[in-house]
Amino acid sequence: MMPNQNDPCPCGSGKQYKRCCGNKANRKSSNPFGKYNTIDILQTIAALTLEEENHGKNLRLEESALEAARQPNQSKKNIPFEELRGYLQEEYELNPQEDPPANLFTEVVAFEGGDHLILPGIIQSPAFILNQLLSGIYHWRGVPLSEQFTTNCYHYVKAILLLSDHMIRKAGLPRYLQGVKRGKFISFPNNGKLNKFKKAVFFSHEEIQVLFDEAAVDIQALNPFLAVLTNPAFQQAGLVESPFVKQPILKLQDGYLVVSPATLTFALIKVLQSEAEAIGCVDDVHKVYHAITWNSTKKGLQVMGFKMVDVPEVPFPVHPGVETGYYQIDDDKIAAVQYVAMSRPKNGFNLKTFEAERSKMMADLAALPQFAGYKFMSVCIPSAMGNDLMMPLSAINQCQTLLVNSFEFDALAQTRRIKAIDLWNYTVAREKQIPEPFKFSMLSFLDEFTIYREHEDSFYLSDEGFDIGVWQYGRSQSFIASARQAEDAHCMAMRKTDGRIAKTFVIRKDKYAPIYLSTDDMRAGEICYGVEGFTPSVWVEAIKEVEKPDPKELTLYIEFTDAISYWLWQIKDDIDPYLAQIDPDCIQFTFALNDLKAFTELNDFYQRDSEVLAKIQITANGDTVHLVLPKELLSYFYGADNEGDRILVKALLTGINLLRVQKNLAPILDAEMDQIVEKNAPLGRKKKLFVHHTSHNWIIDNNGLGKPRFIQKYNTSEVANSIVGLLGQHCPPPGEVTDPALKKRLPIDIVIKGLLPHLKQVISQYDNESLLIRLLMLNESLVQHREMYRIKTPTRIACFVGQKQHIIDTMDRMADSSRTTTAVRCLIEHLAAEPATGNKMVSNTAIDELVAIMDAIISWGSLGDQLTYELFDIRVGVLRTGRIGTEKTVSRKIFDPFYLEKVKENVQDAEKAFEHEFPVASSQQGNAAGLPTAVDTAFRAEFGITLTRVFDFLYFIAALGLKQATGYAMMDLKTLKNQATNPPEPFTDEEFNNAIEFLSLRNRGKVEKFPKGYEPYDISPWRMSRRLSLMRKPLILVDTPDKANPIVFWGARQALVCADNIKIQCETDRLRVPDGGPVKKALATFVNAKSAGLVKSVLQQLKITGAIIDSEVFISPHGNLKNEEDIGDIDVLLIDPASREIYSLELKSFAPSRTVNEMIQECEKLFSSLSEKGLIEKHEIRHKWIENNLDKMGKLYNIDLTDFNVKSVFVTKESMIFPFLKQAGVSMPFITLYHLEKEGYECLKKL
C-alpha cells in the first residue's frame, strides 16, 4: 500500500515519506546510472551545480549524485548528454524539501588577506558564519585558543577555500552572483559551458600540489573531506545523511573531484567544529565567534542609527550567552538590544528565565522618570554557529518586539539604507496588519521584511485582501543580493608601511564607480580609497595636515580623494599598461593640501594662475606618487568648466612618468598625455570637483542643517488604512461609488470630516514652538537639498549617469522631495493659523506621521477638484480591505508623461544655468530686476510698499537668518524692527510694517477661518498661488503675552525661495491679488508685453538657409495679408521651399498648470465656449485661411506656393498639461521652446 506523503517512510529512516523515499517511488524510466562510468556522472552533476540557473535545485542534484554513488561502475563508457538530461528532468522534476534559495549563488569568504569565492548552496548563511568564525579564531584577542587548534584549522580552511575559489574562478563566475532559478527542471548548459564546468570541478594532483605549496598548506588537510564510494553509508543514507554533504571531495587516481561544490563550506564548518571537540576548546571557539559577531552587530547598529545611551538605573540582565545594550532610536524611543548566543554548548541559557528578565528590564526602563512619554522596543538578535536556529519570543505589553538573527541583521546593515526607525515601523505594521495565523508562520524575519518593503512599507498586499501567494519563503533573496552587491565586500592588495603587500578588506563607496573604502583605514580615521580594475592595486590616500581635521577640512580631504580616485578610474584603460610595468602589485597616489586654512577659507579664488600646474609639487618614490596641491588650484575648481580636473589629470600623469623614469622605463610621451586628457576629460562639464561659495547662492548654505527626511511610505500606508475609520458614518458602503454627486462629495468628506480633524488632533498633542522649529528646519534642509541637486545636475550627467538615466533618477527622487516639501510647508501654515497646545515631545516619527496626513489631505483635495470640475471621470470605491481606492489610469496616462516632460525641461534649465552658477561678484543677487516700474508703483498703491522693497526685505531677513546658523531663525518683532534699520538702505517704519503685513502668517484661531479679503481658495493646501501660503508669506508670527511683540519665526532659504516665487508669479500673472486692483492691471500689461520675448526666442532657433521667416503677420483688412475679417496674426511664419512646407506657429507664454483650477483655466483659454472662440479654434481659422489663400501669401513673399503643405503648430514656452489632457481632441500639435532649443528646425519637420 502506498504511504501518504506525511507518513513515516517505510525505509525506517524516521523521516516523513515525502522527505525521504517519496521522491523516488514513481520512477517513470529505468535508472541509467549503473550502465555508465560513475565518476563521469558525478563530475557532470557537480558541473551542473555551477550553472546559476540551477540555484535552489541543489537537493535534486545531491540526490542524483547519491543515487549514482550507490551504483559504482568503472565502465569506460560515459553517459550521453541527452540521456542524462532526459533522466534528470523526468525523474528529478521536483523535491518537496526544496525551498526558494535565500542565499546568493556565489559569495566571498575573506581569509589570510584574500578573497575566496564559495557556493553557499541552500544552507543558511555559510559565508557569514565562516567569515565571523575565522575572524574570531584569528583576530579576536579576548579568548586565547590553542596553537594546535589554530594551526590545524589554518590548513583545513585554506585547503577548502583554495579549492572552492579556484573552482569558481575556472568556471568564470563572479563574486556575489545572485543566481536565477529558471524553470522547474534541472537546467543543462550548452556542451561548451558544461565541459568548462566539468573541468572546473576537477583538480589534477599537480594542480593541487602547486596550489597548496604556494599557500604552505599540508595536503593531508583534505583527508577529512574525502568520500569513499565503497562506504556502506551510501547504500543506507537518506539525502540528509549523504556522505557527500560532509565529505564533498573524491580522491581519484589522477586527481581530486569536487562532487558537491555547494556543500564545501558546510563541510568545512563541521570539520572545524569537530576539531574543536577533538582538542577540547569548543566553548572557547563559540566565545570568540559570538564576541566577534556581537562586535560587528554593534557596528551595524551604529550604521543604522542606533545611538548608545547609558542607563545606570537599569543594569543589564546577567544571563549566560546574552549581551545587552540600550540605544536611542528617535527623540522619544529607546531600544534594548540583546544578542543571544544560541550555540554556546555550556552557557546555561534558559529561554524561560531570559524572557522573564527581558520583561522586567523593559518594565524598569519604562518606569524611569527621564523616559516618561517614551516608547520602547525590545530587539533580540539570536546567533548560532551553523546550527538550526529557533527562538520563540513572547510579546511584552506596551513594547514593540523585533526578532532577527545575526545573519539577517548583518544584511540589513549592509544596505546602508535601513534605519532604526524603519525597524520600529516594521514592528508596528506587523502587529497591526498581519492576520494572526500568519504571525506565526515559518517565514524568516528577512522574508517578511522584504515583503513589507516590496509593498510600500506595508503588509497591505493587495486590494483583494491578504495575498497568501505573496507570503512565501525565499522572498529575501533579492534583498540579500542587493545588500551584498551594493557593499561588494572583498579584499584588495595594499602595500603596508613596512613594504610588504597584504590584502585589506574593502567595501564599495557608491554604485557609480569601482571605488572602494578600506574598512581598516576607516576605523583608524584615515581617508584611503582603492580603485579597482587595474593590473596592480591602485590606492589614493589623503595625507592630513592635522590628525583630527574639523568637519569642513575633512570634507575637503574626502572630496579631493574622491576626485583623484574618479579620474584614475576614468583614465584606467590608458594608464594601466604603464602602471603594470612599474609595479604589478600595488601603486599608491597620495596627496596633501598646502596651506589647509587657505583651502577652507576660499578667499581670492576668482583669478586663475596660469602657472598652477608648475606649482603642484609632484614627487615619486618606489611605487608612490605624491602631490602637494597649492591653494591656487582652487580658482580652477570654481567655474563651469573642468579645467581644474584636467590639471589634476595632468599632474597624475606627470607623477606616473616620474615613477617610470625611476624604474628606467620610457615615459609617456607629451603628445600621448595630451590625448589621454582630451579623450577622458575634454574641456566642458565633466567636472568631478568644484568649489561653490555660498555667498553667491545663499540657498546652498548648509550651516545648521541636517539631512532631509522625506515622506515615509509606512506612514502614507497607515493614513490610507485609517481613512474609512476616520469617516465613520460618512463613509459609503463597500463597493464602487457610482452616484456622481456622492462621488464628488466623497473626497471633500475625506478631507473635512476625516483627515483634517485627525490632523488637528495629532498636532494638538505637541509643543507648538518645538514642532514649528522642527518643521522649519526640515523645510530648510529640503530646500537646500533640492537646490544642490539642481546645481550638480550637469556634472552628474557628464561624470556618471548620462541625461536619460538622470531624468529617470530625478523622477524617482524629486517625486518624494516635492511631496515632502509641499506637505511640510502646509504644516507650517497650519501651525501658524492654529498653533498646537500640547506638551508632547516631537520626534522623527511624529513628523513623519504629520507629513503623511497632510500629503493625504493634498492628494484627496486635488482629487476632489478633479471630480468637481469634471476634468476626469475617475472610479472611486470602498474596497473589501477597508481602504478607499481610486483608479490610477489618469495618473499613468496623463500626469506621469506630463511630469516626465517637466523633469526634462528642468534638466535643460539646470544645464543652461550652470554657466551662471559661478559669478565673479560676491553679493547675493535677487530683486525686482526685469519687472517694470509700473509694477512697483502699483504695489505701493495697493500694499503700501514697492515690490522692490519687498524683495529687499526678503533678502534682509534671509541674511539675518543665516547669521543665526541654527537651521531656522527667530526674533521678537521689536528686535527685528531695530535690525531693519541697519541694512545699507534702512527700512522706514511704514515699509517695515507693510512688509510684515504682506509677508506674515498669523494665528487665526482655526485653520479653516480666513481673514477678511481672503477666500477659501487661500486656505486649501492642494491649491497653488494661495495668498496664505509659505511661498507667499515666509514669516510666522507666534503670539506672546505682549500682543504687540510676537515672536517671528522663519527660514532663511525659504525667504529666498519666496522671493523667486513672487517674481515668477508676477512674470506669469499668477500672483493672486484682488481683481481690478492696480497690481492686477500692471501685471496683465507686463505679461502681455512679455509675449514678444517668446517670439524673439523662437526666431533665434529657426535659422534655416533659403527659408522665409516672418513674425506678427496679420490677416485683416489692414494687415500684411488682406482679409475682410480680422482673424488675428500669425506669430511666426516659416516658408521652406526645400521641403515645400509652410509652418504657422502660434506662440503662447503660458505658465504651466499646477492645480486642477489652473488646468481648467488652461483648457478654457484654448477651447471654445458658447460665448467665445478659444485659441485653438482661432488658430484653426487662420490655418484654413492659409490653405485657401496660398496665392495671396505667395504674392506677399514673391514665391510660388502651389502644392505647398500647410502645418499649424502651437509653441509654448514650456510643457503644458493640456496636450496630455486632450490628446484625442487636439487638431494640431503642441511643442515647446525647449524642443526647439534642443532640436531646432528638426522638431518641426518631424511633426
Cell representation of residue 277: 571537540
Tell me what pLDDT residue 254 has.
94
The answer, yes or no, to whether residue 1068 has pLDDT greater than 90, is: no
Q: Give the SS3 label for residue 49.
A: helix
Q: What share of the chain is helix, strand, coil (3-state, %, to 5)?
A: 50, 15, 35
Q: Which residue has the higher pLDDT, 295 or 1158?
A: 295
With CA atoms as reference, report the closest residue to 165 among 109, 204, 125: 109
pLDDT band at 925 (very low <50, low <70, confident <90, very high): very low
Give me the mean pLDDT over the 830-841 stretch: 96
Q: How far apart, in whole angstroms, are the C-alpha atoms of residue 360 and residue 364? A: 6
To the nearest whole percent, how much of the chain has pLDDT over 90? 64
Neighbours of 240 (CB within 10 A): 13
Q: How far apart, in whole angstroms, are the C-alpha atoms of residue 1062 and residue 947? A: 9
The answer, yes or no, to whether residue 501 has pLDDT greater than 70, is: yes
Domain 283-460+479-484 identical in fold to domain 1090-1245 = no
Q: Which residue has the higher pLDDT, 370 or 393?
A: 370
Tell me what pLDDT residue 722 has.
96
Q: Give the SS3 label for residue 911.
A: helix
The answer, yes or no, to whether residue 3 has pLDDT greater than 50, is: no
User: What average pLDDT does the chain have?
Assistant: 89
Tell me what pLDDT residue 345 has.
56
Range with the poorest average pLDDT among 38-42, 149-153, 487-491: 487-491
pLDDT band at 1171 (very low <50, low <70, confident <90, very high): low
Q: How far apart, in whole angstroms, are the C-alpha atoms of residue 988 and residue 949? A: 11
* pLDDT tens track for 216-234: 999 999 999 999 988 888 8
Domain covering 283-460+479-484 in this structure, CATH number: 3.40.91
Q: How far apart, in whole angstroms, are the C-alpha atoms of residue 154 and residue 272? A: 10
Tell me what pLDDT residue 5 has.
47
Range with the poorest average pLDDT among 110-124, 887-901, 1036-1050, 1203-1217: 887-901
* pLDDT tens track for 716-729: 999 999 999 999 99
Cell representation of residue 1006: 482655526
For 516, 553, 924, 1117, the CA distances from 549, given in Å and listed in that order, are: 22, 5, 30, 78
With CA atoms as reference, report the closest residue to 1029 among 1227, 886, 822: 822
pLDDT band at 187 (very low <50, low <70, confident <90, very high): very high
Please check whether residue 933 is in contact with residue 1080, taking contact to mean a CB–CB distance below 8 angstroms.
no
Strand order in the sheet with 1108-1116: 1121-1122, 1108-1116, 1129-1136, 1141-1148, 1205-1212, 1230-1232
pLDDT band at 683 (very low <50, low <70, confident <90, very high): very high
The answer, yes or no, to whether residue 35 has pLDDT greater than 60, is: yes
pLDDT band at 917 (very low <50, low <70, confident <90, very high): confident
Tell me what pLDDT residue 25 has.
45
Tell me what pLDDT residue 1169 has.
56
Which range has highest mean pLDDT (41-50, 282-291, 439-448)? 41-50
Residue type, 857: I
The answer, yes or no, to whether residue 596 has pLDDT greater than 50, is: yes
Per residue in 975-1012, is it b (16+ CB within 10 Å) or e — as a string? ebbebbeeeeeebeeebbebbbebbbbbbbeebeebee
Domain range annotation of the chain: 23-280, 283-460+479-484, 488-691, 713-916, 933-1073, 1090-1245
The answer, yes or no, to whether residue 730 has pLDDT greater than 60, is: yes
- By DSSP bridging, strand 490-495 and strand 501-508 are antiparallel
Cell representation of residue 276: 574543536
Neighbours of 441 (CB within 10 A): 13
Q: Give the SS3 label for residue 532.
A: coil
370 forms beta bridges with none
Tell me the CATH class for 1090-1245: alpha beta
pLDDT band at 892 (very low <50, low <70, confident <90, very high): confident
pLDDT band at 409 (very low <50, low <70, confident <90, very high): very high
Please check whether residue 999 is in contact with residue 945, taking contact to mean a CB–CB distance below 8 angstroms.
no
Which residue pairs from 1074-1077 have beta carbons closer than 8 angstroms and sit at least 24 positions apart in sequence? 1074/942, 1074/1013, 1077/938, 1077/942
pLDDT band at 1224 (very low <50, low <70, confident <90, very high): very low
pLDDT band at 381 (very low <50, low <70, confident <90, very high): very high
Alpha helical stretches, state H, 188-242: 191-200, 205-214, 233-236
* pLDDT tens track for 769-782: 999 999 999 999 99
Please check whether residue 201 is in contact with residue 43, taking contact to mean a CB–CB distance below 8 angstroms.
yes
Give me the mean pLDDT over the 163-174 stretch: 96
Quickly tell me which residue has 568631478 as its cell: 688
The answer, yes or no, to whether residue 921 has pLDDT greater than 70, is: no
Quickly tell me which residue has 512679455 as its cell: 1090
The answer, yes or no, to whether residue 325 has pLDDT greater than 90, is: yes
Give me the mean pLDDT over the 501-528 stretch: 87
Which residue pairs from 79-83 have beta carbons closer than 8 angstroms and sit at least 24 positions apart in sequence? 79/32, 79/33, 79/35, 79/36, 79/37, 79/40, 79/41, 79/44, 81/188, 81/191, 81/194, 83/32
